[in-house]
Amino acid sequence: MLNLVLFGPPGAGKGTQADFLIEKFKLIHLSTGDMLRKQIAEETPLGLEAKSYMDKGFLVPDSIVIGMIKSILQNDKEAKGYIFDGFPRTVAQAKALDVILNENETPVSGMFCLCVEKDELVNRLLFRGKTSGRTDDQDVSIIENRIQVYNEKTMPIKDYYLEQNKYYMIDGMGSVEEIAERLSNTVATL
């Protein structure tokens, strides 16, 4: 079983690259951002709570996202593997993911960090904001906040996976195809 964590700042291209990996390695895509946006669209109580954080560019509480991932992993034990996109985003989430996966005896295979320069991130997000309609992609101060939250809360996860020899750095600059090739070549070495 292949369990891949796609890691990187907002705008690094995690969702785009996840699409390539799903196709190539036949994995299931788990994006906590997509799951939360679905809850918001359906106006569920969880969605309403999450929206208040997402609109400002803050992280949704760990308990909410861990609960969502847990319920999926506990109910689908037949999958060939997963791509975790946008999860984990805190060390507490990374530890919780290990506990859930260890129960299923299917540990994380590798964590792939897409590295992209900050100016490029902001440009990509503003461009996406025009086409996707995502409000958190349309305001530079919210984008700046999300990048700051990534540096403070999410970056420390790198050390967590480094200690387990599961950290892989991928150059996230260049064309979508170039990045996809780098990424799948590295995944294929696992």
Contact with ligand AMP (CB under 6 A): which of 1, 40, 46, 53? 53
Peptide bond into 107 cis (omega under 30): no
Q: Are 153 and 90 in contact (CB under 8 A)?
A: yes
Q: Are 30 and 36 in contact (CB under 8 A)?
A: no
Q: Which amino acid is at 74?
A: Q
65 binds ligand AMP (CB under 6 A): yes
Residue in this structure with the two tokens 């036949």, named with its chain if needed: 26
86 binds ligand AMP (CB under 6 A): yes
Q: What residues have CB less than 8 Å from 190, skipping those under 6 apart?
A: 2, 109, 110
Q: Any catalytic annotation for residue 124?
A: no
Q: Any catalytic annotation for residue 14?
A: yes
Contact with ligand AMP (CB under 6 A): which of 146, 147, 172, 187? 146
- Among 14, 37, 124, 182, the active-site one is 14
CA–CA distance, 110 with 93 (Å, rounded to integer): 16
- Among 51, 56, 95, 134, the active-site one is 134
Which of residues 176 and 185 has its CB atom nearest to ligand AMP in the complex? Answer: 176
Contact with ligand AMP (CB under 6 A): which of 33, 110, 129, 172? 33
Which of residues 25 and 53 has its CB atom nearest to ligand AMP in the complex? Answer: 53
60 binds ligand AMP (CB under 6 A): yes
Smallest gap from residue 59 Cβ to ligand AMP (A): 4
- Among 37, 124, 146, 182, the active-site one is 146
Count of residues interacting with ligand AMP (CB under 6 A): 17
Site residues for ligand AMP, window 2-21 (CB under 6 A)? Answer: 10
Question: Would the CA dihedral through 34, 46, 61, 147 be positive or negative?
Answer: positive
Q: Which long-range contacts link 92-96 to residues 24+ away (Cβ below 8 Å)?
A: 92/62, 92/66, 93/62, 93/65, 93/66, 93/157, 94/157, 94/160, 94/161, 95/160, 96/62, 96/66, 96/69, 96/70
Residues in contact with ligand AMP by CB under 6 A are 10, 32-33, 36, 53-54, 57-60, 65, 86-87, 89, 93, 136, 146
